[in-house]
Structure formats: C-alpha cells, structure tokens
Amino acid sequence: MSSPANFNGKRPVIDPSDTAMLLIDHQSGLFQTVGDMPIPELRQRAAALAKMATLSKLPVITTASVPQGPNGPLIPEIHENAPHAKYVARKGEINAWDNPEFVAAVEATGKKTLIIAGTITSVCMAFPSISAVADGYKVFAVVDASGTYSKMAQEITLARVVQAGVVPMDTAAVASELQRTWNRDDAQQWAEVYTKIFPAYQLLIESYMKAQSVQKDGEVLDSAR
C-alpha cells in the first residue's frame, strides 16, 4: 500500500510563498530517449513550468547531467522563460541531490516546498525527489514535464515516488495552483502558459475573444438605436 505524503497536518497544496522549482536535466540528448510522451509536448511543458515560475516569482534551479557529452545541453527555453534561474554544474553525480552545490542552492532559497521535473523521470526526477523528501522537503513531482523510456517505466516510478512521500502532479494542475485566480493583472500571460501545456487551449481563447467582440458590437448597436 502506498504511503501518503506527510505534510505535518498542513494542506497538501502548493504555497507559492514557500516554493522553489527544480528543473533537472531537460537536455536535448536525453529527450531523444523519451518514449512515454511526444517530445515536442514534453519540451513545451518544461518551458511552461519555467514561465509560470517567473510569473509566480519562484526561485528556479537548473542543472544538467554531463552536458558536454551525449546527454546534450539544456534546452534553451528553460532559461529563456526563467532568466532568473540559477544553473548548478554537477561533477558527474547522477542524482542531483548528491551534489553539495545543488543542495546548497536549494537551501539558499529558504523554501521548504519543491516543484521538481526532470528527464529521465525514473532517475533525474525520482532520485532527487525522494532524497528531498527524506531531508524534510514537501515535494511535488511534475510527471508530464519529465519523460522516460516507456509508459511502464513511468508507472513503476510513480509507484516508487508516491511510496516515498512525493506528490505526483501534471503541468496544468501546477499552473492552476500557482495562479489561484483569473482576477489578476497578468491573467493573459497565464492564459498563454496554458496554450503551451495543451495547445487546444488557444481555441478556447479565440472563441472567448470572438464572443467578447460580438457582445461589444451588440452593445454599440444597441446604444446607437
């Protein structure tokens, strides 16, 4: 039986004021091994996470596994969408949490809630997520912004991280918990984030804008009569 996450009586939701985002090993070479989701969708969701971290003013820490080798460099969208992100170079550690500088960067944020996504899910996301929970952090793992070899590997990893106390989420749910309300000045930017998560959301925006335009035209005609 899976063990529920222990949040010490607190609501198991994301508190933006106490949250940092860790985007681990979203690298061009590693992406080529992904088989549980389309690579363009994975890439868009990783970029969306970076953008929502910027909108929510969350600290972002990135890292890469041997980027000078076949794993390749980080995809550029991460730092383009989160220019404030701090990159931590590793010295070959597979588990980012085994790198003292990476852990120190997380500790320096002063946050105790972590949103983590990483490619490959079963390693680069799972290992630091489990390690962070063991060190007392509340961890939300973004499964559809990670990516691994197969659906079987994804399912096995989900079972493992949940037993360790990690809370799995999808990218859209993370966006909604961080955004909280549409009654905000940057609502249009949040709408654009959702189009990166599921492109069909653009159709919803277009239909809404058309409806608004028709309503406005109707009001103009009524006032002219």
Q: How far apart are CA 30 and CA 159, in angstroms?
A: 23
Helix (H) or strand (E) holding 172: helix 171-179
3-state helix, strand, coil in the chain (%, to 5): 50, 15, 35
* Tokens 């509340």, located at residue: 138
Q: How far apart are CA 80 and CA 100, in angstroms?
A: 26
Question: C-alpha 174: how far from its chain's center?
Answer: 7
121-148 as b/e: b if 16+ CB within 10 A: bbbbbbbbbbbbbeeebbbbbbbbbbbb
124 part of the active site: yes
Q: Which of 47, 124, 132, 158 is catalytic?
A: 124
Residues tagged active-site: 124
